């Protein structure tokens, strides 16, 4: 699929880990915050985000999901470790993906044959959607979380170099 596709997953990894680091500084009470229109509590959303990512990986022929619906939330650190592993596996899958690759999968109660790229794109979209939910909850409760857009990623990874004031 090319280096741009792989870079998108590197950003995805960075943004997930950035947000999990923010969540790691929250109290137990703050992890239970929610806001209308979002997935649910912060803790439930991060479990869902990491678990879904692992299910996408499994659909693509990767490892079995370790974060399942039976995952007992015991803090952010174990989820962060899982997110690191999943992100690295997604980057590897994206680097090997070919436009013609197809798979058969089940989504809810229907079976599909689809391009592997669709599952990879869904993983990107899903991560962005739920990171936004968590940021909405944080913002609604006045909790600062910093920047995790692509510009912040560029700064954090050295992909942008300040040249001075214009």
Which residues are 115's β-sheet partners?
102
Environment class of 161 (CB within 10 Å of its CB; exposed 0-12, middle 13-18, buried 19+): exposed
The pLDDT tens digits for 31-73 are: 999 999 999 999 999 999 999 999 999 999 888 999 987 888 8
Residue boundaries of the structural domains of the chain: 3-157
Which residues are 105's β-sheet partners?
112
Q: What does pLDDT average to over the chain?
A: 93
User: Which range is least confidently modeled, 32-46, 84-98, 100-114, 126-140?
Assistant: 100-114
Whether the CB-CB separation of 144 and 135 falls below 8 Å is answered with no
pLDDT confidence of residue 97: 86
Does the structural domain 3-157 have CATH classification 2.40.30.10?
no
| Rounded Cα gap, residues 51 and 56, in angstroms | 9
Which residues are 62's β-sheet partners?
none
Residue 98 predicted with pLDDT over 90: no
| Rounded Cα gap, residues 52 and 4, in angstroms | 23
End-to-end CA distance of the chain: 37
DSSP label of 159: S
pLDDT confidence of residue 107: 76
């Amino acid at each position: 699929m090319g280096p741009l596709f792989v870079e998108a997953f590197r950003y995805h990894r960075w943004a997930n880990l950035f947000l999990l680091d923010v969540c790691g500084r929250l109290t137990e009470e703050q992890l239970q915050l929610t806001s209308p229109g979002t997935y649910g509590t912060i803790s439930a959303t991060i479990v869902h985000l990491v678990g879904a990512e692992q299910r996408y990986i499994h659909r693509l022929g990767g490892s079995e999901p370790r974060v399942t619906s039976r995952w007992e939330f015991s803090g952010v650190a174990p989820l962060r470790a899982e997110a690191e592993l999943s992100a690295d596996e997604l980057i590897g899958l994206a680097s090997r993906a070919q436009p013609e690759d197809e798979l058969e999968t089940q989504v809810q109660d229907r079976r599909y044959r689809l391009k592997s790229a669709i599952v990879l794109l869904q993983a990107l979209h899903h991560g962005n959607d739920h990171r936004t939910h968590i940021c909405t909850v944080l913002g609604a409760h006045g909790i600062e979380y910093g920047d995790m857009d692509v510009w912040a990623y560029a700064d954090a990874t050295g992909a942008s170099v300040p040249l001075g004031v214009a």
